[in-house]
Chains A and B, each alone.
Chain A
Amino acid sequence: MTQLHLFYVFAALVTFCSVMVVGSRNPVTSAVFLVFDLFLLAGIYAMMEAHFVAAIQVLVYAGAIVVLFVFVIMLLNLEQESHGKVRVSIPDIVMMGITGLSFVIIAFLVARVPSMATVGEMTPEAIAAAGGNTYVVGMVLFTKYLWPFELASILILLAMVASIVIAKKDKAAKPGRRRTVNANQ
């Protein structure tokens, strides 16, 4: 049962890193632990033989999104603001209670209700027989889930265009202002 033991190691590390993300005072420390977190999650995916998802997880989340987090934190230089004393208020306690309760409920459901803990038809062997991870994911994305996939892409494109429109300075709005060379950059 080496795989199970490895899973426990990864799970414990993921939990530790997640706690450190919310618990550490320095925002850069939080961001670095977030990277570890995402990387270890990719390790768990890889242990489930889902290599494609693992690689994409590292490529997109750890390699691109959190880099931008680190950028923003570094440029804003948030460190000075992080020395306030942590105070736990009543809403915080309520939220913690709700979170803990939901965790217990989910753990109970997974352990007790058989339909939530069964193995689906796409076992690692079935995927290997069907032509490998990437092939299976690609086939499902471009046949069964084609429309949701395309709609999601358009949504992301929309967000990109919207952010460019918002960031772009309007030339016509201020006719009296002298245009500088770098007005659009």
Chain B
Amino acid sequence: MGLDLQQIQAFLDNEFAVQLIATAIKFAVVFAICIQVPPIMIWVERRAPALMQRRKGPNRVGFFKLRLWGLLQSAADAVKLILKEEIVPRGANKIFFQIAPIFGVIPALLIACAIPYGNDFQLFGYNIPLSIVNVDVGFLFILAVSSLGIYGITIAGWASNNKYSLLGSLRASAQMISYEIPLGMSLIPIVLIYGTLDLNQIVIGQSNLWNWGIITSPISFMIFFVCMFAETNRAPFDLAESEAELVAGFHTEYGSAKFALIFLTEYVVMFILSCLASTVFFGGWQIPFVPHDTLMQLIGGLHIPVLPYLLDLVGWGAPFLSLSLQEMGVHSLIASLIGVAVLFIKAGFFMWMYVWVRWTLPRFRYDQLMSLGWKFMLPVGLANIFVTAIIVAILNFK
């Protein structure tokens, strides 16, 4: 075979190359997951209300006798959307009309880079973090980049040259600006309590169930939870696309692949905010009552020689056959991947909450929305920061 252990060893000695490959793999995986979120969520969003309203929902699309509970309906919709004709309405600003969905999707995918999906793991003697970019101001990065998402909506509405689009985009962006402030304020007590802006350090700080953000700062979680819905323009705050008044809001004029991109943005932001909520308030990748070190030891002691047998088929797995996972040096990788699964389960719960709330609560009125944001959430958020700061100062006083 062309594989030479010496060459592999030489490659592994180059830290830059290893980190580059690791980053590329992480990028690809996160991007693939983000792309897969909308079709699955659209399926959930059709089947869940059907369940609640005692009807069947889409369950026909499939091949042969295989119907997969209508899961392929989303795939069919995606194909249909991409194959539709691209239309630019007359009188629209052509360039901005085309660019606006891209403006929306870039910040959404950028935030996905800063979420710690699992703990750092050690492989080949290198420490590889499981967030794509590991900035020490992870919190601020997420807030900063998510505030750029407004441009996509604003420009989409303006460039469409349609009064409904413009009104919808004004509503949406005014709402997002208003709720960004309480969202940021709800996270400051968490920074005060865990003493760091690094999201992974915050997750490490939530090692026990009673250390979770929701226990240490419940008011923060309530504010964050409401802002999660308002930031994504979801029901009960979906005034930006209230069908009875504004057709479809800022994306009235959009069709085909551009509409798909707008949809992608919406669901990716929902997914990222769900991940952030579980990271900050629900212990992220931590399994309750099982500290990460214990998990690593448990996995490290296991003998699962599947991989060595596979390597043995190629001809160079023989030295690994009798080793445990720890001796092979992959136990921390597997523990981190279990953490990723745990985070996704927690985030999945919040995604379900989005759907659940949408089909349960009626829509707010616009002035109610604004007064809730500015006259209730903002003062409560400020008071929460103040009280938390005093308590943290007293506890740290020596």
Contact = CB atoms under 8 A, between A and B. Distances in A.
Nearest to A66: B151
Interface string A35-57: 10001001000000001100110
Contact of B147 (A26, A63, A133, A134): A63
Interface string B120-147: 0000000000000001110011011101
B154 A55 contact: no
How would you classify the secondary structure of chain B's contact residues: helix, strand, loop or mixed?
helix
A64 B154 CA distance: 13
Interface in A12-48: 26, 28, 32, 35, 39, 42
A59 B154 contact: no
Contact of B177 (A28, A39, A64, A133): A64
A67 B197 contact: no
A63 B149 CA distance: 8
A67 B148 CA distance: 9
A71 B147 contact: no
B220 interface: no
Contacts of B170: 71, 74-75
Contacts, number: 71
Given A28-B155, A71-B154, A58 B136 contact: no
B140 A63 contact: no
B265 interface: no
Nearest to A75: B170
Given A51-B135, A134-B197, A74 B147 contact: no
Contacts of B141: 51, 55
Contacts of A134: 136-137, 140, 197
B147 A56 contact: no
B147 A62 contact: yes
A39 B141 CA distance: 12
A63 B148 contact: yes
B173 interface: yes
B140 to A, nearest CB: 4
B150 A63 contact: yes
Contacts of A56: 140, 144
B166 interface: yes
Contact of A59 (B147, B158, B173): B147
Given A28-B155, A67-B151, A52 B177 contact: no
A11 interface: no
A185 B374 CA distance: 13
A52 B147 CA distance: 16
Contacts of B154: 67, 70-71, 74
B356 interface: no
B144 A59 contact: yes
B137 A51 contact: yes
Contacts of A62: 144, 147-148
Contacts of A132: 136
B173 A71 contact: yes
B96 interface: yes
Nearest to A42: B144
B147 A58 contact: yes
Contacts of A26: 93
B396 to A, nearest CB: 15
In the A-B complex, the 5 residue pairs with the smallest Cβ-Cβ separation, listed nearest first, are A63-B147, A55-B140, A58-B144, A59-B144, A55-B144
Interface of B: 93, 96, 135-137, 140-141, 143-145, 147-148, 150-151, 154-155, 158, 166, 170, 173, 177, 180, 197, 367
5 contacts: A35-B151, A58-B147, A59-B140, A59-B147, A74-B158
